């Protein structure tokens, strides 16, 4: 059988370079969306490696998405956090968009926590709410598995029936209620961006069953499932979707809401990690 060893060899080059600086294998990988980057700075015994210092790692140019991997411990769990991510709308191939996530899994992470900022497509969702992702619609028009399959990473046709792990979802709901708030639950639609949606597009995705819209996560979840990692996805609803509020959408609103909610979001992540440490994810 012929298949390109390209991704695998790139990943292993990156793994080799990281292992010269970090010897502990991470158990949990976190992709930190807008506003959550600070979480990485709270990891104990942290070792930060800028993307630019990792051979073969694609680098993002988006402002406010300074890219680095931060290794360290939180709530007794060895973690690696990706601060800043590469987006499809920057023009990177889908396989590059998920490279950082694949790398964290290749380094040993069995659980990935993927976070994002999203607009509410369901009129019942308000800015500032956190939403547990139960499932997704990949409306990016592409797949992170496009091209020859690399059998060393995963199967050609990975199952997506329970892309967002049920046990981890229950664990997150428990952690939220312990922290004193209710986590919304819903379906995340991932679009290409980078323009925000038209009001008609927001109504379309809601009619299709989505509760939130964003420009990330779905390709990452597909790649994680391809590699057999378990996924927990959480959206910070930073704004009502286009047409559902009186104003127009502006990136500053997204970052302001994300910053406002970050204390609660970080608390939730810590609650989730504490439960994982107690063995509740098994």
Torsion-angle region of residue 28: left (phi > 0), alpha (psi -120 to 50) or beta? beta
> How far from 145 is each of 157, 183, 201, 232, CA to CA, in Å?
9, 31, 26, 20
Q: How many residues bind ligand HPA (CB under 6 A)?
A: 13
- Hey, is 188 helix, strand or coil? strand
Q: Which of 37, 214, 233, 271 binds ligand HPA (CB under 6 A)?
A: 214
- In the complex with ligand HPA, which residue's Cβ is closer, 88 or 215? 215
- In the complex with ligand HPA, which residue's Cβ is closer, 79 or 117? 117
The answer to the question of residue 35 lying near ligand HPA (CB under 6 A) is no
What is the distance between the alpha carbons of residues 49 and 82, in angstroms, rounded to a whole number? Answer: 10
Stretch that binds ligand HPA, among 56-64, 173-181, 209-217, 268-276 (CB under 6 A): 209-217
- In the complex with ligand HPA, which residue's Cβ is closer, 7 or 138? 138
Q: Which of 118, 127, 176, 227 binds ligand HPA (CB under 6 A)?
A: 118
- Hey, is 151 helix, strand or coil? coil
The answer to the question of residue 238 lying near ligand HPA (CB under 6 A) is yes
Q: Which of 241, 261, 268, 276 binds ligand HPA (CB under 6 A)?
A: 241
Stretch that binds ligand HPA, among 12-20, 70-78, 151-159, 235-243 (CB under 6 A): 235-243
- In the complex with ligand HPA, which residue's Cβ is closer, 251 or 270? 251
Q: Which of 28, 117, 210, 227 binds ligand HPA (CB under 6 A)?
A: 117
> How far from 21 is each of 3, 14, 18, 53, 85, CA to CA, in Å?
31, 11, 5, 11, 21
Stretch that binds ligand HPA, among 2-10, 86-94, 208-216, 226-234 (CB under 6 A): 208-216
CB of 209 to ligand HPA, least distance (A): 17
Helices within 47-189 (DSSP H only): 94-97, 99-106, 166-178
Closest residue to ligand HPA, Cβ-based?
Answer: 119
Of 265, 227, 244, whose CA–CA distance to 7 is shortest? Answer: 227
The answer to the question of residue 239 lying near ligand HPA (CB under 6 A) is yes
The answer to the question of residue 215 lying near ligand HPA (CB under 6 A) is yes
What residues contact residue 117 under an 8 Å CB cut-off, 6+ apart? 33, 34, 35, 214, 235, 236, 238, 254, 257, 258
Stretch that binds ligand HPA, among 12-20, 56-64, 114-122, 224-232 (CB under 6 A): 114-122
Q: Is the peptide bond before 62 cis (omega within 30 degrees of 0)?
A: no
- In the complex with ligand HPA, which residue's Cβ is closer, 1 or 207? 207
- Hey, is 181 helix, strand or coil? coil
- In the complex with ligand HPA, which residue's Cβ is closer, 56 or 245? 245
CB of 95 to ligand HPA, least distance (A): 22
Of 211, 104, 225, 108, whose CA–CA distance to 155 is shortest? Answer: 225
Helices within 179-246 (DSSP H only): 199-207, 218-226
Binding region for ligand HPA (CB under 6 A): 117-119, 196-197, 213-215, 238-239, 241, 249, 254
């Amino acid at each position: 059988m012929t298949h390109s060893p390209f991704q695998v060899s790139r990943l292993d080059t990156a793994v080799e370079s990281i292992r010269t600086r970090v010897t502990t294998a991470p158990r949990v990988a976190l992709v930190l969306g807008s506003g959550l980057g600070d979480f990485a700075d709270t990891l104990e015994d942290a070792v930060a490696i800028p993307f630019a210092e990792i051979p073969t790692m694609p680098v993002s140019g988006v402002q406010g998405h300074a890219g680095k991997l931060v290794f360290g411990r939180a709530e007794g769990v060895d973690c690696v956090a990706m601060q800043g991510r590469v987006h499809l709308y920057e023009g990177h191939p889908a396989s590059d968009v998920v490279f950082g996530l694949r790398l964290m899994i290749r380094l040993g992470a069995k659980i990935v926590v993927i976070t994002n900022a999203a607009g509410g497509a369901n009129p019942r969702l308000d800015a500032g709410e956190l939403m547990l992702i139960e499932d997704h619609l990949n409306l990016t028009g592409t797949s992170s598995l496009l091209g020859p399959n690399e059998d060393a990473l995963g199967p050609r046709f990975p199952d997506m029936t329970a892309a967002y792990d049920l046990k981890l979802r229950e664990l997150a709901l428990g952690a939220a209620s312990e922290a004193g708030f209710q986590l919304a639950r819903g379906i995340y639609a991932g679009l290409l961006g980078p323009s925000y949606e038209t009001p008609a597009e927001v109504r379309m995705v809601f009619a299709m069953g989505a509760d939130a819209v964003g420009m990330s996560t779905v390709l990452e979840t597909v790649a994680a499932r391809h590699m057999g990692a378990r996924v927990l996805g959480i959206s910070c609803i930073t704004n009502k979707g286009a047409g559902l509020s009186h104003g127009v959408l502006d990136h500053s609103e997204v970052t302001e809401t994300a910053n406002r909610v970050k204390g609660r979001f970080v608390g939730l992540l810590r609650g989730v990690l504490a439960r994982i440490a107690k063995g509740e994810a098994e």
